[in-house]
Amino acid sequence: MSSYHYLVAPLIAAAALVVLILICRWVFATDGRDERTARRLAKMQSQGDYGLLAPVATTRTSADAAMLRSVLAEAGIRCTVSVDAGGAGHVVLVFRDDALRARQLVST
C-alpha cells in the first residue's frame, strides 16, 4: 500500500488542476455576455432609467446638447450627454441633487 501513494498523489493533483481549469473557463467565459449587457442597457434606457442621473433637457442635435453642457459646466454642474433610446435626439443628464438648479439654468 505504501508504494501506491507515489502514483495516487500526482493523479489527485492532476484532477484538482483539471477541475480548477474548468471552473476558470466557466467563470471567465464571455460567450453571450456582451449581447446580454447590450440588451439590459437598451431596456434600461428605453424605460428612462439613468441610475443616479436625471434628465434635464432633450435636444435634436449634438451641437445643442454640447452648448447646454457647456452652460451647465460653467455653473459648476457636472453633466453628460446620452443619445435618446429612440434615436430622436440627445439627453442632457445631471446628478439628481443638481437637477433642479440645472433645469432652471437650461430654461433661461
- CATH at 87: 3.30.70.1530
Q: Would you say residue 41 lies in a domain?
A: no
Would the pLDDT of 47 be above 90? no
Q: Is residue 32 part of a domain?
A: no
> Per DSSP, which regions of the chain are E strands?
53-59, 79-83, 90-95
Q: Is the pLDDT of residue 3 over 90?
A: no
Contacts 24+ apart (CB under 8 A), 39-42: 42/85
List, for residues 52-79, the tens digit of each pLDDT value: 888 888 888 889 999 999 999 999 999 9
User: Starting at the edge strand that comes first in sequence, how are the strands of the sheet with 53-59 ordered?
Assistant: 53-59, 90-95, 79-83
Calculate mean pLDDT across residues 79-99: 84
Report which listed range, 19-23, 27-31, 50-54, is most confident: 19-23
Question: Structural domain tally of the chain?
Answer: 1
Quick check: 98 and 55 in contact, CB under 8 A?
Answer: no
CA distance 8 to 70: 70
* Residue 81: domain span: 48-107
pTM of the model: 0.54
Tell me if 79 is assigned to some domain.
yes
Q: 58 lies in a domain? A: yes
Question: In this structure, is residue 2 part of a structural domain?
Answer: no
Structure letter (DSSP) for residue 80: E
- Mean pLDDT computed over every residue of the chain: 83
User: Is the residue at 33 inside a domain?
Assistant: no
The whole-number pLDDT of residue 107 equals 83
